[in-house]
Amino acid sequence: MIGGLYDDVGLRDGEPSAKRPNKRGEQTRERIVTAAIECFTEYGYTRTRVSDIVHRAGTAQGNFYRHFASLDDVFLAALRPGLEALAVVPTRRTGHSFELESLVESNTSYLHSYARYRHTLRLLREAAAASANDGFLQLWLRLRGDFVARTRRWLQRLTDSGHLRAGEDLDLLAEALGCLTEQLAYVHVGLPASTPRRERIDELGRSLGESWYRLLPRAEEAR
């Protein structure tokens, strides 16, 4: 799924060689990716160099280029776990439920997943703004677009089942809810110097879930 996401925005994800890496090669690749995450986090996307990564990984530049064609390639590899984690978090509970506790639970789950990969997810947003490679902007837009689209489908199910007021602009509502979620995650989970405590993320998840709950135009309110 994520590989297809990269392809759709003109980015490549994977090794330049078609050969299947051996165990030692896989271990070297993992060290390089781990070092890349640390360097990107410490120096930022625009200031990180291949030499920084290989020095921290304790390997040679030749080994780097056996696994990655460029700095952008290893950046994509660093992003992959976070993108996959967010892709599988349910936007809301399945079905027609939009009870308060259901919304709190799903939003809290999203924020905890975001917190586990907060450095790389923050870096994607910053790379989208700073990189000369338009693919990162398109990747970020596609990631948030997928979130909004899933929310839109959930809102449609609620409308079709009679739970939400008919005639609402669901595209705009889904976009507004997505912006609210994304900005709260970025500012309060991604930007702090240290990862927020679990209790703080739970608090943010409840506040976010309550905001979603209040913003939904319920059918009974039109009567």
> How confident is the model at residue 87, as a pLDDT?
79
Q: What is the torsional sign of CA 172, 183, 90, 139? A: positive
pLDDT band, very low/low/confident/very high, at 4 (cuts 50, 70, 90) = low
> How confident is the model at residue 18, as a pLDDT?
43
Checking if the pLDDT of 17 tops 80, the result is no
pLDDT, one tens digit per residue, over 80-122 is 888 888 877 665 555 556 789 999 999 999 999 999 999 989 8
> How confident is the model at residue 6, as a pLDDT?
56
The mean pLDDT value for 7-29 works out to 65
pLDDT, one tens digit per residue, over 172-214 is 999 999 999 999 999 999 999 999 999 999 999 999 999 999 9
pLDDT band, very low/low/confident/very high, at 45 (cuts 50, 70, 90) = confident
Checking if the pLDDT of 72 tops 50, the result is yes
The mean pLDDT value for 61-73 works out to 92
Checking if the pLDDT of 126 tops 70, the result is yes
Domains of the chain (ranges plus CATH)?
2-75 (1.10.10.60), 89-222 (1.10.357.10)
**Structural contact between residues 74 and 109, judged by C-beta atoms closer than 8 angstroms:** no
Q: List Cα–Cα distances, 167 to 34, 154, 222, in angstroms.
A: 49, 15, 11
Helix, strand, coil percentages, rounded to 5, for the chain:
70, 0, 25
The model's pTM: 0.80
Checking if the pLDDT of 131 tops 80, the result is no
φ, ψ of residue 173 to 5 degrees: the values are -65, -45
Q: What does the CA dihedral 120, 200, 85, 25 come to, rounded to 10 degrees? A: 50
**What is the rounded distance in angstroms from the CA atom of residue 211 to the CA atom of residue 130?**
31
| % of the chain exceeding 70 in pLDDT | 84
The more confident residue out of 26 and 3 is 26
> How confident is the model at residue 92, as a pLDDT?
56
φ, ψ of residue 127 to 5 degrees: the values are -65, -35
φ, ψ of residue 142 to 5 degrees: the values are -70, -40
Checking if the pLDDT of 35 tops 70, the result is yes
φ, ψ of residue 164 to 5 degrees: the values are -105, 155
Look over the chain and give the mean of its residue pLDDT values, rounded to a whole number. 86
